[in-house]
Every structure is written in structure tokens, then in C-alpha cells.
Amino acid sequence: MLNSIYLEYNFKVVPVQPASDILIAELGEVQFESFVETEDGVQAYIKQEDWYPNILDDLQILSNPLFSIDYDYSEIEQENWNATWESNFNPIQVGQQCVIRAPFHEKPKVEYDIVIEPKMSFGTGHHETTHMMLQHILEHDLKGKSVLDMGSGTGVLAILAAMKGAAAIDAIDIDNWCYLNAKENVERNNCNHINVYEGTADLLVDQKYDIIIANINRNILLEDIPTYVKSLKKGGILFLSGFYKEDIPRISERCKEVGLKFEKNLEKNNWVAVKYVF
């Protein structure tokens, strides 16, 4: 796995917003797994084995007359990812309490200092969905709670939950590279009671949590919400993100079918992070 080859797509987007956000969402639907937002667009990464010649044909945004999008792509080995990432990564501050930074950044004076080296994993805090999920976690008392971070990426959400006093934390991601990276970041932040697993919601057998965090994408969430509810304690909280404001009715209807109640949502650049209570 460590020698896997990725394809790096460089998209130049006019106007940059909201087109970049839409582009990232659509690329995620066709197995692109990592993104770096640039001044003039998006860099997107996909494993070579997941790529096929007409992979962009179904992207509606490329034929949208409201946007102009040009792109090229090239092969990139995983060991070159850090150099690409470091040239684009700046520390992220969430409220007054939390900073997400790289090992080479200066240590800040905040309550929650999270050190992340994402490699090919999603979840640095730059994207709106991750940022809003961090906000949700900061707003809630997690002391002594059991927490599941589903689609954990770098593990940043699980790490913040641990720093906020969660007693037992599981982090799950389907991607092997994310799994390995999350384990590294968990160790880097001395969060010894986070268990990291590689897999899907199928791993949730006889598990019960006070809080479940799932930042994935709309289609996977719609499929897996019933599984999450089976793993949620009565009175528990489900945080969902990875979709747009216009998707809330469909997500909420699915949640209502399984006994979840909408409580609140955060919104940033049309992305949302929604809180449901069981």
C-alpha cells in the first residue's frame, strides 16, 4: 500500500466559489479521496487503481455554463504527498479554543492543540464540513462519553473528542491509507484510548455509543443511518456532515424514519453539519 500511485488532478476554476465546493463534492462521488483547495481551484487525488479514462464524464459541473473549469493531471507517488501538502497547509483555528496544525508549525497557546500530518487522508480542518464538525464537538460536553468517528480520515475529530474527555472512542475508515494515517495521528497526539479500525459500518455489531460523528457523503449516509441508530444509545447524538443545505430534507426524512429528531445545523458556504438526537 505504501507504494501506491495516485493521480493528481489540477483544476482551474472560474469563479472559484461556489464551483470548487461543488466540484469537490462531485469528485468525491467518483472515488477521489483527497483535496487541496488552491487560490485558483482544486487539486484532487485518486488512487490509480480506482481511476478509469472517462471518470469525469458524469460530473455535471463540467458542463455547467455558469462555470469555466480547465484541468490536467499527472501521476504522484504517496511519498511525495507531504511535500505537496506542506506547501499548501496553514494552521486552522476553530473558535478560540482549538488549533489544527502540522508538526512543523509553532505550538499555539490554546486549550486544544491538535497536530495532524494528513498524508493522503481527508480531514485537516480546512474543509467546511470538518471545520463545522469540530465546532459541534467544541460545543458539547464529552466527558465520560463513548464516541464513534465514522469516516475518520486523519482522525482529527476523534482526537478532539479525546481531548474533550471522551472515555471510549472508535474511529473507522474504509480506506487503508486513512486507517494508517489516523493511527499515526492518534499516537502523535497521545490519545491512547482511541481505537482505529479499517472498514465500513458493517463493523458496528453490538456496539453502543453516546455520540456518533459521521462526515462522509450524502449517499453513504442515507444508506448507513439505520445502522448508526442501532449503535446509538437512547438520548444519544448523531452528527452528520458531507452534504449540502438542500440535502437536509432528504437526510432528515431518513433520520425521522428511524426515530431521530432534528435539533440544529451549522452552515458554511452551503455545506452543513447537522445534529440529530435519538
- Which percentage of the chain shows pLDDT scores above 90? 64
- Whether the CB-CB separation of 201 and 224 falls below 8 Å is answered with yes
User: Could you identify the residue written with the cell 458542463?
Assistant: 63
- The mean per-residue pLDDT over the stretch 171-190 comes to 92
- Per-residue pLDDT band for 157 (boundaries 50, 70, 90) equals very high
Supply angle C-alpha 69, 72, 78, rounded to 5: 125
Mean pLDDT of all residues in 39-50: 88
pLDDT score of 1 more than 50: no
What is the pLDDT at residue 84?
62
Euclidean distance between CA atoms 226 and 259, whole angstroms: 9
CATH of domain 85-277: 3.40.50.150
**206-241, pLDDT tens digit by residue?**
889 999 999 988 888 999 999 999 999 999 999 999
- Please state the rounded mean pLDDT for residues 94-100: 94
At 190, the amino acid letter reads: N
What integer pLDDT is reported at residue 13 of this predicted model? 95
* 210, 236 Cβ separation under 8 angstroms: yes
Q: CA torsion 150→153→157→162, rounded to 10°?
A: 90
Query: pTM here?
Result: 0.75
Q: Which residues contact 116 (CB under 8 A, 6 or more apart)?
A: 100, 101, 102, 123, 124, 125, 154, 155, 156, 159, 185, 188
Q: For residue 111, is pLDDT > 60? A: yes
**Close Cβ partners of 125 (under 8 Å, ≥ 6 residues apart):** 92, 94, 100, 116, 131, 134, 156
Average confidence (pLDDT) over 46-57: 91
Other C-beta atoms closer than 10 Å to the C-beta of 242 total 25
Q: Which residue has the higher pLDDT, 180 or 4?
A: 180
Q: Which residue has the higher pLDDT, 219 or 121?
A: 219
Q: Name the band, by pLDDT with cuts 50, 70 and 90, for residue 2.
A: very low
Residue 52: partners with Cβ closer than 8 Å, 6 or more residues away? none
Q: Is 206 annotated as a binding residue?
A: no
Sheet of 168-173: strand order equals 194-198, 168-173, 146-150, 209-215, 232-244, 271-277, 261-268
Q: For the chain, give the mean pLDDT.
A: 90
151 carries a ligand binding annotation: yes
Q: What is the pLDDT of residues 3-13, one digit of tens each?
A: 567 898 999 99
The mean pLDDT of 116-130, rounded to a whole number, is 73
Distance set, CA 173 to CA 57, 69, 95, 128, 170 (Å)? 27, 31, 27, 19, 10
Q: Is the pLDDT of residue 79 over 50?
A: yes
DSSP 116-169: ---TT-S-SS-SHHHHHHHHHHHTS--TT-EEEEET-TTSHHHHHHHHTT-SEE
Q: What is the pLDDT of residue 189?
A: 97
Q: Where do the structural domains in the chain lie, given as residue ranges?
A: 5-78, 85-277
Could you say which DSSP state residue 74 is in? E
Q: What residues contact residue 217 under an 8 Å CB cut-off, 6+ apart?
A: 25, 28, 29, 242, 243
Q: Is 50 annotated as a binding residue?
A: no
Please indicate if the annotation marks 130 as binding a ligand: yes
pLDDT at 73 over 80: yes
User: Domain spanning 5-78: which CATH class is it, in words?
Assistant: alpha beta
| Position with higher pLDDT, 24 vs 227 | 227
- The CB density around residue 123, as the number of other CB atoms within 10 Å, is 30
Q: Does 125 or 193 have the greater pLDDT score?
A: 193
pLDDT score of 31: 82
Identity of residue 6:
Y
